[in-house]
Chain A
Amino acid sequence: MSNNRRAFLKFGLAGAAVIAGLNQLLKVSPHEFNERLTRSLLGARREAKVYPRDRARTPRANGSAGLEEEFDPKDWALKIEAPDVSSRSISIEEVKSLPRVEMTTELMCVEGWSEIVHWTGTPLSNIAPPQAPEYVSLTTPDEVYYVGLDRESALHPQTLLAWEMNGAPLTSEHGAPLRLVIPVKYGIKSIKRIGSIRFTAERPSDYWAERGYDWYSGL
C-alpha cells in the first residue's frame, strides 16, 4: 500500500473516531461543569449595569406558567420558610414597608432578546435568615412554576422582590402582587406571583432546568 493510501486510510479512521466522539459528547450536559467553573471564577460578584430611567420599556410578558389559577391578590400573603425556624407569612403591606429600592436594569431573556426595565422593590436579602443556607427556592401559589437560586445570586443586592414595573403596580401578567427580579440571571429565574420562599440546604428543583435549561443560568 502506498504511503498516500495509508495516510488517507488513517485520516478516514481518525475522522470516524472524531465524529463518534463528538456525537457522544453532545449527549452529555455541560451545565454542571460550566456552573462549577464560572461560579468559582466569576460567581455573581459584580452588579448589573444600571441605565437612566428614561431608557426603560415594557418587556414582553413571556411565560404564564403559574399564573393561570383564579387569583385574588387580596388573599395573598408571602410564605417564608427557613431551617430551624417556624414558617411565617407576611402581607404585601409588610413587604412594602421593607427598605425600598428602585433600579433600571436590563432584563435578558434566555430566548436572546433583552429589554431595559425600571423596577421598584426590596432586596430579597431583607427577608433572608441571618445564616442563610446554600439555596433558595421560590414557587407560585399554585406551585406550577418554581425556581431555584444559589445563595450568592439570591442575596445579590440587585435581586429584588418587586411590586412595581416602570412606576406602575405590577399587572397580573407581569406577576402581581409580588415578583422576583434577578438581573444576574436569565429572565426565566425572575419568577412572577411569588407564593412562597424557602431557604434550604438542598439544591431546589427548577421548572426550566427540568426542561433542559441550565439550572444556574447566571449572566
Chain B
Amino acid sequence: MMNEVLVVGSILLSSLLAFVSFVAYRRSRMRATLYLSFAFLLWACKKFVELGHTALWIRRDVGNIVDALELLILLLILAALWKR
C-alpha cells in the first residue's frame, strides 16, 4: 500500500514538473525546457507502468518498457543540457 502511495505521489509531482517546464518553454522558447518537459512526462509514464506491474497484460514487458523509458529520460536530460 505504502509503495502505491509513493508511486502516485511521484506521478503527480512529475506531471506538475512537466507542466511547469512546458509553461517555461511557452514563456521563454528555450528548447531545453521543452526537453525537460518531455523527460518529466516520460517519468510520469514510467511510474505509471511500474504501478501496473501486477496487471497481467503488462507484467511480462514491464522491465523492458521501464528500461526504455529510463533511457529516453536520460537522453532528454542530456539534450536539455546540450541545447540550453
Does A pair with B? Answer: no
Enumerate chain A interface residues (CB-CB to B < 8 A).
Answer: none
Q: B residues engaging A (CB < 8 A)?
A: none
